Amino acid sequence: MIWYRGGGYPPGMDATLRLAQQPEADALLARSPLALLTGMLLDQQVPMEWAFTGPYTIARRMGADDLDAHEIAAYDPERFPELLSEKPAVHRYPGSMAKRIQQLCQYLVEPTTATRPPCGATPPPAPNSSSG
């Protein structure tokens, strides 16, 4: 995942996506790495277009133009599933997906994530523990 200090993608990385098949939802996916990642998370056991419309629906229900990892991570865990369950539901399993989305956002915003090696990176060697 490419994260840029100013939010969104780095300059020059313009994306045109047509995953949701709705112009507003596709525009959000194109400008927001978190929305795209959330769509990927939702892309389980539902049609792809439904999954990738989910981030746009969540943002609208939260009264925003984009998803905010800090806001989602801090959202009341009892109320967030209700947000995804409103008709039409964001996913076939809104309660389960709400929990996963919140866990993802909590992982992204917790301070220790900056010190973790990137996914797939070779971990540093363990300190030599031989006593000589």
Tokens of 60: 């609208």
- 18 part of a folded domain: no
Residue 35, Cα to own-chain centre: how many angstroms? 5
Q: Is residue 1 part of a domain?
A: no
Provide the pLDDT for residue 2. Answer: 45
Assess if residue 78 is contained within a domain: yes
Collapsing DSSP to helix, strand or coil, 78 comes out as coil
pLDDT tens by residue, 56-93: 999 999 999 999 999 999 999 999 999 999 999 999 99
| pLDDT given at position 3 | 47
In a domain? residue 12: no
Residue 65 lies in a domain: yes
Instruction: Domain count for the chain, please give it.
Output: 1
DSSP structural state of residue 89? P
Nearest to 22 by CA among 44, 48, 43: 48
Residue 98, domain extent: 23-112
* 3-state SS assignment for residue 120: coil
How much is the pTM?
Answer: 0.74
Confidence of residue 98 (pLDDT cuts 50, 70, 90): very high
Start-to-end C-alpha separation, the chain: 43
